[in-house]
Structure 1
């Protein structure tokens, strides 16, 4: 590595690559270092989905990948419905593009329902209860009504259905997985739900093999280098289905090997040199973390855990510490916890990363 620049690998005709080279390629392909989009919706159209479990931090995952994005701009896109938030891929929230939400749910909801089955049975949630809940939700949201979870809970309670805790969460998730409801407009700081058919323009359905191929194509193009097991875990597909999706698109991908693993990624484009040291503040559910299971180790994880600082500081793509924020009227205050001391240039890079985050939240720093 040059002391001033990182040259991203341009030729991928090798039989092996290092962990750090894999991390650098992921940073480029995930748009963390080379933003290709100016609008959140465009980014989601390429990435297919972005985990959105922690809403405030999840908006930063979109913002740092989108040129010129601000917290307010992403919030506006969410309120207007050009980006949506629902349970898809895995039993957690994701941001998705309206044109993708239908086929993504058709593809992954069956597996999520299987994964949810044990908890539902444990809490006495039966099929008849799910059908009754869907009927109530469809009625109270019809006509463009966007209701908060608390308001939905009140309607369910009036119908003598579960309205608190885990059972409520699973009734609402079931309605999301069935393409009945999705995110509505914000009401102040409160999230709402809306009928999906009233929120999402009609889009053509994909047959299952088409959907498998499309998801595989987007995953390996934007997350590669990645393994087939990485893809299966990220998508919640079975390994057999993940292989089927990869086989449909592998003619347009390249294959690499490292440490006995087989990695796939889109063919290399010219990649610019990136100034080093470069520090990125990555939230703990960011796609740079959550897109990988088998090969997450290449990102430098394994240092002493500090649970009060749950998000990650990445130096040239490798973890060196953790961070968290406190949001106020004046913007964002960022606190850090480092695994090792930083030299002067690394410390300056950290301050630059903090200023990027503060600007995203409207700060003057």
Structure 2
């Protein structure tokens, strides 16, 4: 018999799966483990965390492993536990090092298919691309063994030294191509963001998953880390086709790793949800006391980025206040009881602090946010910031 859940229960399950509820699901973050190991456990549970904003992605990991800080995240990179690369959708994420390879093989076909057209637009021939790849891999060889790598500027300087006539707007594509094809990845951190290394030298224990097994793994781990999800959520998040996403869900369901739920009051495809069966064991009868405390979530957090259907967490009418101009740049959010009630940012004023802007018709309790501000400060090694409440904007900007 298919379980029927309410919208309130849906939100509870998602917050718990996301590692943001009072009792996070599936994340082994005991205080006895080293900080870097706890960050790795979060990454393994989440499978992939949006990573184009380096600072935000660090906090997204640390927030889900209370007591860790930025140094623990960087240690997880330096120890080869996690990497930063392009596992899917042509978007950079933080991923467990052992998972990046099979994920790319399962999802990369769609983004790689568009690469020749992109190179034609850039005016880059296949011969030049091959030369750039060869020179890059030669330059990276041996660095991983020493815990070193190259940043973007250093790598492109090597192209120039090799006598290659390259254009500045090629650099992103070349580095993406190296990473997307599993030839390189961003690993050790020295003085800034992760550095580029050869993937075959840096990743010690890659998992080998192919075909239906890989699809089932994607569906099962996505559902375990995002709570009840719809088929179209999986298709969007992975970049798979609707048919591939349906196959992934079928494989995960047949193995017993996900179960079908029905959303009360919904109809059609919107009513069908998939979740980790183990999550249903602690499903509350009501939402009272089940959601997390007030939270300050970083920009691009999976709380919103992990879904196409975000109505449980955010009033659709407020979407453009979180993503101004629908430009893909998700602002940092203030969350209460699992729902977005405002945005926040660091103040540019001399005395610093955090500025909070409520969504229209919603309030922000500054006193209730003090623990969240303290958590943010501890992670970044700062003093607890002052909180300033700004008036809600009159219109989405």
| Aligned equivalent of 1:320 | 341
Cα offsets for 1:310-334 (capped at 9, x unmatched): 211111111111011369999x832
Offset at residue 44 of structure 1 (A): 1.5
Q: How far 1:115 sits from its partner (Å)? A: 4.6
Tell me, what secondary structure is at the counterpart of 1:281? strand
Equivalent position SS for 2:334:
strand
- In the superposition, relative to structure 1, how do residues 106 and 75 fare at CA in structure 2: closer, same or farther (>3 Å)? same
Q: 236-245 vs 62-71, which deviates more?
A: 62-71
- Contact map agreement 1:91 1:116 (CA 8 A) in 2: no
Instruction: For 2:350 and 2:94, locate their aligned partners in 1 and report how far apart those are by CA, in whole Å.
Output: 26
Classify the secondary structure of the residue corresponding to 1:147: coil
Is 2:160 the counterpart of 1:160? no
Distance 1:12 1:72, change over 3 A: farther
Q: Report the alpha carbon displacement of residue 120 of structure 1 after superposing the two structures with TM.
A: 2.9
Scaled by the length of structure 2, the TM-score of the pair is 0.80
1:297 is matched with: 311
Structure 1 residue 341, shift from structure 2 partner: 7.0
Alignment correspondent of 2:281: 269
CA deviation vs aligned residue, 1:35-54 (integer Å, no higher than 9, x gap) = 43321111212221111110
Look up the match of 2:113.
114
Question: 1:277 touches 1:349 (CA, 8 Å); kept in 2?
Answer: no
Instruction: Note if 1:238 corresponds to 2:229.
Output: no
Uncovered stretches (5+) of structure 1, i.e. residues with no partner: 1-10
2:39 aligns with 40
Q: Is the 8 A contact 2:15 2:291 kept in 1?
A: no
Q: Which residue of 1 aligns with 2:358?
A: 338
Q: In 2 relative to 1, CA 120–17 (structure 1 residues): closer, same or farther, beyond 3 Å?
A: farther
Q: Find the residue that maps to 2:189 and give its secondary structure.
A: coil
User: Contact 1:148/1:192 (CA < 8 Å) preserved in 2?
Assistant: yes
How far did 1:342 drift? 6.5
**Are 1:361 and 2:377 an aligned pair?**
no
Name whichever of 156-165 and 27-36 sits farther off: 156-165
Instruction: Give the CA deviation at 1:104.
Output: 1.1
Asked whether the equivalents of residues 296 and 372 of structure 2 are also in contact (C-alpha less than 8 Å), the reply is yes
Partner of 1:62: 61
- Distance (whole Å) between structure 1 residues aligned to residue 305 and residue 276 of structure 2: 19
Bigger mean CA offset, 109-118 vs 73-82: 109-118
Q: Name the structure 2 match of 1:135.
A: 134
Contact 1:220/1:226 (CA < 8 Å) preserved in 2? yes
Deviation larger for 226-235 or 32-41: 32-41
> Cα deviation per residue 1:33-92 (whole Å; 9 max; x = unaligned)?
234332111121222111111010111110111132212211221233211101111212
Instruction: Kindly state the Cα deviation for residue 203 of structure 1 after the two structures are TM-superposed.
Output: 2.9
Equivalence for 1:8: none
In 2, Cα distance between the equivalents of 1:225 and 1:120? 39
Match of 2:225 in 1: 222
Aligned counterpart, 2:209: 206
Cα deviation digits, residues 188-238 of structure 1 (max 9, x gap): 125421111111114352222111111111011111211010001100111
Q: TM-score, normalised by structure 1?
A: 0.87
Structure ranking higher on relative contact order (CA contacts 8 Å, 6+ apart): 1
Task: Label 1:59 to 1:114 Cα distance change in 2 as closer, same or farther (>3 A).
Answer: same
| Cα offset, 1:271, TM superposition | 5.5
Given that 1:137 and 1:152 are in contact with CA atoms closer than 8 Å, whether structure 2 keeps it comes out as yes
Using the alignment, how far apart are the partners of 1:328 and 1:99 within structure 2? 42
How far apart in 1 are the matches of 2:116 and 2:302?
A: 26
Deviations 1:280-334 (CA, angstroms, capped at 9, x unpaired): 11223111111101x122222432627599211111111111011369999x832
Structure 1 residue 269 displacement after superposition: 2.8
Structure 2, gaps ≥5 residues long: 30-37, 385-397
3-state DSSP of counterpart to 2:311: helix
**Superposed CA offset, 1:91-143 (max 9, x none):** 12111111111111211222221354543332123433322221011111111
Using the alignment, how far apart are the partners of 1:341 and 1:280 within structure 2?
19
Structure 1 residues 281 and 12, CA gap change in structure 2 (3 angstroms): farther
Q: What displacement does 1:270 show?
A: 2.1
CA distance in 2: counterparts of 1:269 and 1:163, whole angstroms: 56
What is the rounded CA distance, in whole Å, between the counterparts of 1:289 and 1:54 in structure 2?
A: 15
Against the structure 1 CA distance between its residues 87 and 327, is the aligned structure 2 distance closer, same or farther, given a 3 Å change threshold? farther
